[in-house]
Amino acid sequence: MNTFENVLIIGSGVAGMEASLMLSKAGKKVYLVEKLSLIGGKTIKNEETFPNMDCSTCLVAPIQQEILQDQKIDVMTVSTVQKVSGKAGNFKVTINKKARYVNIAACLGCGMCYPVCPVEQSNEWEENLINKKAIYVPCSGSLPNVPVIDADKCLRLNGSEECNLCVEACMFGAIDFTEKNETIEIEVGGIIVATGFDMLDVSEIENLGYKKYPGVYTAMEFERLFAANGPTEGKLTLRETEKIPESIAIIHCVGRKEVGYCSSICCMYSSKHAQFLKHKLPEAKIYNLYSDICVSDKTYQKFQKNVAKHSSKFIYRDDKSELEITQNDNKLKVSYQNNKGIQDAVTVDMVILANATVPSNDIELLTDVLQIEKDKFGFIDTQSFRIGSVVTSKPGIFVAGCAEGAKDLQSSVLQAEAAVSQILSMK
């Protein structure tokens, strides 16, 4: 007997969400497993998306809502895949679903429980730019809009029985400390891995001054800074000084040498950042320091050229020589070698590092569980030269989106559609 009618999708970014909806419409039962407490992936960290500067929330929220309301999609948040056995058409999967300690059906998402919690911890979803409590939603507008309790940080769950503050604050009786971690067994015919990407940690690259100088930001930190639902509610003020920057340098290709490949999306999102800055701070001086311009889509070149003409000064830097960032009197000096081989510099208030995209941090564990191969960079390997760009080394398991390598939204969705076609053509 096979279980082609059931499909497992791991990761709920744009790729996982697109695949889930398509498969549900084709009549399949979908199990969507997401390790975080919310669905949507990295796109919901963006305020606007290139190339049309569309509002990301307006693009993604209706899809998230549709997923959550779809009777054929079983959304499992705070969950991970622990074990997979069997073969295409008949996989047996063990899922570990952590307790949320908040009853999803009873919670109205009113937010009364967070302010009373005495615990403070760094909010990594917000790129550690602000803190969160032990009971939290990662950001406002999270879907499902239901908090989760961090079992490692909650005082009550760690022996301090007296703490009952969130329970007392909740008028709907939604907090439930009797919830337990669950082990769920399912059977599926096919699997799509859509676990996305992470960003290279650039604090190890000394000459960039990241974490040393407060005016140096990563690209994802900047995304949260300019998001209306982010830590500063979209106010572009520098950390520590709270000053509005008057000059900004955006550095492309950061960590490209370290990872050994072009991340392919940084030129576009760095151009997006420049356009956004020009719009928000028309008087600011903006520089994009690039070594290569990688803009492949037919509309992307026009977008980048337009930014270079109207919003930012694009400066070539030779990446054979190391770039160096130093600080003096709250001003950051970015030194680089120009196209004539001469050392040059720009002095600015803020630096945004377009750091490389890398495989998601638990890819080792997942590829071991699924018994699929990785490529030499650590992304999920595909048989692209033989059969197709979404076919992994194991029959019945497909990959979509940035789990296969860095790409934009459009290409992530295209791969999700291709993976769905592969699932639907399995016999």
Ligand X SMILES: Cc1cc2nc3c(=O)[nH]c(=O)nc-3n(C[C@H](O)[C@H](O)[C@H](O)COP(=O)(O)OP(=O)(O)OC[C@H]3O[C@@H](n4cnc5c(N)ncnc54)[C@H](O)[C@@H]3O)c2cc1C
CB of 233 to ligand SF4, least distance (A): 20
Question: Cα(267)–Cα(272) distance, rounded to whole angstroms?
Answer: 9
Q: Which residues bind ligand X (CB under 6 A)?
A: 10-16, 33-36, 41-43, 46, 49-50, 80, 194-197, 219-220, 223, 265, 269, 272, 357, 360, 362, 366, 401-402, 407-410, 412
Q: Which of 25, 82, 83, 108 binds ligand SF4 (CB under 6 A)?
A: 108
By beta-carbon proximity to ligand X, the closer residue of 265 and 348 is: 265
Q: Which residues contact 262 (CB under 8 A, 6 or more apart)?
A: 253, 256, 292, 294
Pick one of ligand SF4, ligand X, none as the site partner of residue 284 (Cβ within 5 to 8 A by kind): none
Contact (CB, 8 A) for 419 and 18: no
Q: Which residues contact 363 (CB under 8 A, 6 or more apart)?
A: 195, 374, 378, 379, 380, 403
* 3-class DSSP state of 297: coil
Pick one of ligand SF4, ligand X, none as the site partner of residue 226 (Cβ within 5 to 8 A by kind): none
By beta-carbon proximity to ligand X, the closer residue of 6 and 79 is: 79
Residue 110 within binding range of ligand SF4, rule CB under 6 A: yes
Distance from the first to the final alpha carbon of the chain: 12
Q: Which of 7, 93, 134, 366 binds ligand SF4 (CB under 6 A)?
A: 134
80, 154, 66, 152: which is closest to 113 by C-alpha? 154
Q: Which of 17, 95, 119, 192 binds ligand SF4 (CB under 6 A)?
A: 119
CB of 162 to ligand SF4, least distance (A): 9
Question: Cα(117)–Cα(110) distance, rounded to whole angstroms?
Answer: 15
Q: Are strands 6-10 and 29-33 parallel, antiparallel or unpaired?
A: parallel
Q: Write each residue from 158 to 177 as x if it is in contact with ligand SF4 (CB under 6 A), else as -, in one continuous string.
A: -----x-xx--xx-x-xx--
Is residue 332 within a helix (H) or strand (E), and if so which, with residue range?
strand 331-337
Residue 148 within binding range of ligand SF4, rule CB under 6 A: no
**Sites of contact with ligand SF4 (CB under 6 A):** 102, 107-113, 116-117, 119, 133-135, 147, 149, 154-156, 163, 165-166, 169-170, 172, 174-175
